Chains A and B, each alone.
Chain A
Amino acid sequence: MPTSTQTTVSGPAGAPDPDSRPASGPAQTPKAVVRPGDRIFSAATLIAGILILLILAGVALFLLAQSKDTINAQISDPSSITGGHGFFAYVWPLVVGTLISSAIALLVATPFALGIALFTTHMAPRKLAPVLGYVIDLLAAIPSVVYGLWGIALAGNLTAFYLWLSKWFGWIPIFAPDADGSVSNTGRTLLTASLVLSIMILPIITSLTREIFLQTPRLQEEAALALGATRWEMIRMSVLPFGKSGIASATMLGLGRALGETMAVAMILSPGLLTASLVVSGNQTIASEIAQNFPEAAGLRLSELITVGLVLFVITLLVNMAARAIVAKTSVKGS
C-alpha cells in the first residue's frame, strides 16, 4: 500500500483531524503540516468512495421502494398480479427460463472459450497471437443489440436443424416437438436465444481466461517441455492447473453476464409459457420480460416488473459472490 510509507503527511482516510495545525497549539509535539489542499482533496476522494456505497445501497433501496405495491398486492390480493396466482407463480417460470438459457450458454461457450484462449496463447503462430487476442477484445465490445439483430436475421436458418433434432431426439423432453409434431417455424426459440447468448459471452470468457493463461510461469512451461512433455501434456500439467481458479471465475463472470443479458433474448425469443422443450416457441427470461413489457407498463404492472428486476439483482449478486468465493478459495491453495 502506497500510504504505509507515507503516514506522516495525512491522517487516514482524510477523516476530520482535530489536532491539525490551526486548532492545536504550536508548542505541542511537532506535527506534520496538513494543508487545506490536502484536506479538500482527501475529503473529495473519500466522498467519491462513499458515494459508491450509497449508489449500491440505493439500487437495493429504490428497487424495494418501488416494489412496495407488488408486495402489498401479494399480501392483500394475490390474484391481481399478472397470471392471477400471486407473485411467485408469476416469477418462477421467468427464473427457470433465465437459469436454463444461461446454463446452456455457459455449457456451449466455455469449451470454445478455453479452446480459443489456448489457441491464441499457446498454439497460434507467434506473430498472429497478439492480433487474435486484440480481435477477441474487440468482439467483446460489440453491443448486445447488434447480436440481437443478427440473431433475428439468422434464426430462421435453425428451423431445419430443430426439425431434425425433434425427429431423432424428440424423446428427450428438451427437444420434444409440439403436440402436432412441429417446431417453431421462425426459429425464435429459447435454444436460439441461448446459442446467441453463448456467442455473446464467448469473447468475455475468452479474454479473461486468455489473460490467466498468459500469466502461467514461463519456467514451469519450459520445464515441462524440457522433460520431454508434448505441447498438450505441457498445457495439461502446467497451464491448466495454474489457471484453474481463473477459469472458474471467468465462467462465473460469464454466467453473471448471461443471466443479466437482456437485449439478445428480448429480441430473438418469441415469449410464451414455460415449456420443457427448447425447440418450440415459449419460455421467457427475467431480463427479457422486463424489456418487453416495461415501455407499456403502468401502475401495478410497473411495480411488478421492478420487483422482478430486484429478483434478478439478487440472483446475479449471489452468482458474483460465489465467483469471488471460488477465486478466494482456490487462489490460496494455488499460490
Chain B
Amino acid sequence: MLTTSDNSTAKSRTLTSKQLPKATPWVIAVASIIVAIIISFIAFGGFNIPVVAVLAGLINIVAVFALSMSYEGRRKATDRAATTIVTSSFILACVPLISLLWLTVSKGGAAINGDLLSRTMLGMKGVLDQQYVAGEATLSGGFYHAIVGTVLITVAACIISIPIGVLTAIYLVEYSGKNKLGKAITFLVDVMTGIPSIVAGLFAFALFSTIANVIMPGAAGIAKTGFTAAVALSVLMIPIVVRNTEEILRLVPMDLREASYALGVPKWKTIVKIVLPTSVSGILSGVTIAIARVIGETAPIMVTAGFAKTLNWNLFSGWMSTLPTYIYDSQLRPVSPGDAALASSERAWAAALVLVTLVMVLNLLARIIAKVLAPKAGR
C-alpha cells in the first residue's frame, strides 16, 4: 500500500492530510507491553504471560485508536485499529501453533534415538519403564513396528486409491462432458471429502466383518487387519486425489489435445501420451499431499487395525500399529501406570516428532515435485 507518510511534516500538509509518523504503531505497541507488565505486577502480583498478552493487546488497540482519532480523524483511526486487531489476532493465533511445534521438537528431540527407531514393544514390561524413570536404565521399547505399519498401510492405500482417483478424474474431465453421472460423481466426491475419518474406519470395519461373517460365522474379529485400515484410508484419500487431479487436468490446454487428434492419435493415446505427461507434476504433488493427509490419521486405523505391540509384515492377517495409533496408545494406555507412565509419554513424543517430520517432508516434496516436474513454459 502506498502511503505518503514519509513527509508528514508541515510542508506537505497542503497535499496530504495529517498523519502520524511511520514508527508510531511500533512505539505504541512497545509502550502498551510495558504498561501491561506494570499493571500485571501491581494487580496480579507478578509477571503473568497470558494476562500481559491480553492486556497489552487491548491497551494497544485503544491507544492506537485514541491517538489516531485525535490527530488523523475517524476514518484513519478505524483503519489503524483494524490493522492492529488483524495483526494482533495473527500474532495471537501463532502462539499455540509455535508452542505445538516447539513442544514436539523439544520433547521428541530429547527422547528420540536410534534404538527407539529400530526396536518394537516386544517383551516390554512395566518394570523396565520403572527402572528408566528411577534412572537405573535407558529408555526401552521403540516403534519400529509402527513405522513399518505406517509405510505398509499407506502404500496399500495408495495402490487402491491412486488408480481409482486418477481414472475418475480422467473420466470427469475427458469423458463425462456434462452428463448426469459426471455431475453425480462430482457431488459425491464433495460429500466424500466431508466424511469424518472415524466413519471411514467404521465403514471399512463393517465391510470386512460382514464379509468375514459370511465366510466364517462368528469370526468378525479377523476383520481387523492392515488391509482393512488401508481400505479405510482409501475412502479418505480417493476424494483428495480426484479433486487435485481434476483441477490439474482441466488446466491442460485444449490446443494440445486438438493437435494430437488432428494427427490421428486415438483419444486414449492422447490422454496417456499428451494429457497425463503434461500434468504429471500436478498429479504427483496432489498425490503426495493426499498421502501426507492420510498418513497422520489415527481414528480409522485404531478401529480397523487395532494396536499391535510387535512387528507384523502381513497386511492381511493380524493387528498392525501405525505411528499415530502408537502415539495414542502410548499416551493413554502406558505400559506402566503411575510415575513410570512418563516413559510411555516420552516414546509417544518421539513418535510424534517422527510423524510430524514425515508429514512436513511429504509436503515439501509435493512443492518440489510441482516445481521440478512442471512442464517448461513455452516460448
Contacts and interface: CB of A to CB of B under 8 A. Distances in A.
A pairs with B: yes
Interface of A: 1-6, 9-10, 12-14, 33, 35, 37-38, 40-42, 44-53, 55-56, 58-59, 62-63, 65-66, 111-112, 115-116, 118-120, 123-124, 134, 137-139, 141-150, 152-154, 161, 199, 202-203, 225, 230-233, 235, 253, 256, 259-263, 266-267, 287, 290-291, 294-295, 305-306, 309-310, 312-313, 316-317, 319-321, 324
B37 interface: no
A325 B192 CA distance: 16
A161 B83 contact: no
Nearest to B88: A115
Contacts of A233: 75, 78-79
A306 B194 contact: no
Interface string B110-127: 000000000000000000
Interface string B338-349: 000000000011
A269 to B, nearest CB: 12
Q: Majority SS of interface residues in chain A?
A: helix
Given A2-B174, A51-B164, A145 B298 contact: yes
B46 interface: no
13 contacts: A1-B177, A2-B173, A14-B175, A42-B267, A45-B167, A46-B175, A49-B171, A56-B191, A119-B87, A145-B327, A230-B75, A260-B197, A309-B202
Contacts, number: 292
A320 B194 contact: yes
B79 A62 contact: no
B104 A146 contact: yes
B377 interface: no
B168 A118 contact: no
Nearest to A289: B198
B100 A146 contact: yes
Contacts of B296: 141-146
B352 interface: yes
B254 A53 contact: no
Given A112-B93, A306-B206, 4 more contacts: A2-B250, A145-B355, A150-B99, A233-B75
B352 A199 contact: no
Nearest to B364: A138
A59 B174 contact: no
A142 B101 CA distance: 9
A58 B202 CA distance: 11
Given A115-B86, A202-B93, A309 B268 contact: no
Given A52-B164, A52-B242, A150 B103 contact: yes
Given A146-B327, A295-B307, A49 B168 contact: yes
Nearest to B269: A37
Interface string B258-286: 10010000111101100000000000000
A248 B26 CA distance: 34
B232 to A, nearest CB: 10
B31 to A, nearest CB: 21
Nearest to A259: B196
Contacts of A153: 103, 107
A290 B257 contact: no
Contacts of B175: 3, 10, 12-14, 42, 45-46
B168 A52 contact: yes
B139 to A, nearest CB: 17
Interface in B224-246: 235, 238, 242
Interface string B67-97: 0000000011011001101110110110011
Contacts of B168: 45, 48-49, 51-52
Across the A-B interface, give the 8 residue pairs with the lowest CB-CB distance, nearest first: A260-B196, A143-B296, A115-B89, A48-B167, A45-B171, A41-B268, A230-B79, A320-B194
B1 interface: yes
A309 to B, nearest CB: 4
Contact of B324 (A143, A235, A295, A309): A143
A37 B164 contact: no
